């Protein structure tokens, strides 16, 4: 079962994802297996952890005025950035999500008539509350939340867009441009990188698709990576056995298999490669929050199945929050 991430991993490498964040959803078709992969690229170590959150946790948007409030319906396993942002994860229903940097993001001036949600919990909210992409999309108008951001790393804006996928292969991209929410919803939205906005990424793909068999853009820019990843994803065979450029190094990659409910993490800078099966964890209401630090200093312990390596923890306070 562990080789079933091979195609998703290979797609990320072929796209040139060693230069900045990329995400792909691969559909095996012959057995309806969906595999999601993402690379995390940044200027410095993200000091990440893996958290296990059970259902039934009372949460809020962690902003001072009119915070969004909810009680998690589903458990989830997520990877953090500096233990301040849920950056990637999958819930117990097989809904997966990734938050990728998008410098063009504009969430608008704070409007306290709308429930506020710290950007560090933006992805977490969807993993907590929804089983499918369609449910998450339907909630957008109902909740009318506003994402609130704050500085995380000096000189780097803490802004991004979200990609969600579910067991059926449905996908959605959420981003805020000029203060307005823009949504792309459908099974065709299988690839996402960083800048430019998703509309522009799609336009570039339409330009390159007719000539992609003879030519592909070759730089490390997010736009070129999007084109290459889209091409290789279309080219990948059906398989039942899944055997101005700002260049940052790849730090780690994650893969989620909602068919067998497995989560994989591998470091690109240290010999760290771990996996977890959801059946080994208690996601039920009343269970403990669990945590697995992924710091480089204890890399010798971060090999293989991590079911016995998690310890009890408290939920983190997200970036953007000021409570």
Which CATH number goes with the domain that contains 150? 3.60.60.10
CA dihedral 48→133→230→11, nearest 10 degrees, is 40
Instruction: Give me the torsion for CA of 206, 207, 208, 213, rounded to 10°.
Output: 90
**Interatomic CA distance for residues 88 and 74, integer angstroms:** 16
How far does Cα 228 stand from its chain's mean position?
A: 20
Number of domains in the chain: 1
Above 70 in pLDDT, residue 207?
no
**pLDDT at residue 196 in the model:** 84
Q: Which residues contact 320 (CB under 8 A, 6 or more apart)?
A: 62, 63, 117, 118, 119, 120, 121, 147, 148, 149, 150, 158
Q: Does residue 322 sit within a domain?
A: no
The verdict on residue 319 lying in a domain is no
Cβ–Cβ < 8 Å for 166, 96: yes
Query: What's the mean per-residue pLDDT of the chain?
Result: 86
16 found inside a domain: yes
User: How far is Cα 181 from Cα 145, in angstroms, rounded to an integer?
Assistant: 10
* Pairing relationship of beta strands 146-148 and 116-118 according to DSSP bridges: parallel
- Which residue has 């809904």 as its token pair? 95
Higher pLDDT, 187 or 226: 187
Active-site residue identified among 11, 18, 20, 21: 21
Burial of 3 by CB count in 10 Å (0-12 exposed, 13-18 middle, 19+ buried)?
exposed
Structural domain of 169:
2-312
Catalytic residue flag (residue 21): yes
* Domain annotation covers residue 164: yes
Please give the pLDDT value at position 15: 42
Highest mean pLDDT among 30-39, 138-147, 235-244: 138-147
268-296 confidence digits (pLDDT tens): 888 899 999 999 999 999 999 999 999 76
Residue 220 in any domain: the answer is yes
Mapped onto helix, strand or coil, the DSSP state of residue 307 is: coil
More confident residue, 209 or 42: 42
39 within domain boundaries: yes
Task: Assess if residue 317 is contained within a domain.
Answer: no
Whether 109 is in a domain gets the answer: yes
């Amino acid at each position: 079962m562990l080789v079933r991430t091979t195609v998703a991993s290979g797609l990320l490498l072929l796209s040139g994802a060693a230069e900045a964040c990329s995400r792909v959803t691969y559909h095996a078709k012959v057995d309806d297996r969906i595999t999601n992969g993402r690379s995390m690229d940044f200027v410095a170590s993200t000091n990440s952890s893996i958290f296990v959150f059970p259902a039934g946790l009372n949460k809020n948007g962690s902003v001072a005025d009119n915070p969004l409030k909810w009680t998690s319906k589903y458990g989830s396993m997520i990877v953090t950035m500096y233990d301040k942002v849920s950056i990637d994860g999958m819930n117990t229903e097989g809904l997966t999500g990734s938050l990728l940097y998008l410098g063009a993001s504009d969430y608008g001036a704070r409007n306290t008539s709308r429930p506020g949600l710290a950007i560090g919990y933006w992805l977490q909210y969807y993993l907590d509350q929804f089983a499918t992409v369609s449910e998450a999309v339907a909630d957008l108008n109902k909740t009318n939340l506003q994402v609130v951001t704050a500085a995380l790393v000096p000189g780097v804006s803490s802004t991004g867009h979200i990609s969600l996928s579910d067991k059926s292969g449905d996908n959605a991209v959420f981003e805020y441009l000029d203060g307005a929410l823009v949504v792309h919803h459908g099974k065709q939205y299988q690839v996402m990188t960083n800048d430019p906005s998703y509309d522009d990424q799609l336009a570039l793909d339409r330009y390159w698709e007719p000539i992609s068999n003879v030519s592909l853009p070759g730089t490390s820019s997010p736009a070129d990576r999007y084109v290459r990843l889209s091409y290789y994803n279309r080219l990948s065979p059906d398989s039942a056995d899944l055997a101005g450029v700002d260049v940052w190094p790849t730090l780690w990659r994650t893969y989620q298999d909602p068919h067998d409910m497995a989560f994989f993490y591998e470091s690109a800078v240290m010999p760290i490669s771990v996996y977890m099966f959801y059946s080994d964890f208690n996601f039920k209401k009343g269970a403990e929050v669990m945590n697995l630090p992924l710091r480089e200093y204890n890399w010798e312990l971060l090999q293989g199945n991590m079911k016995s390596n998690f310890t009890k923890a408290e939920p983190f306070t997200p970036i953007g929050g000021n409570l």
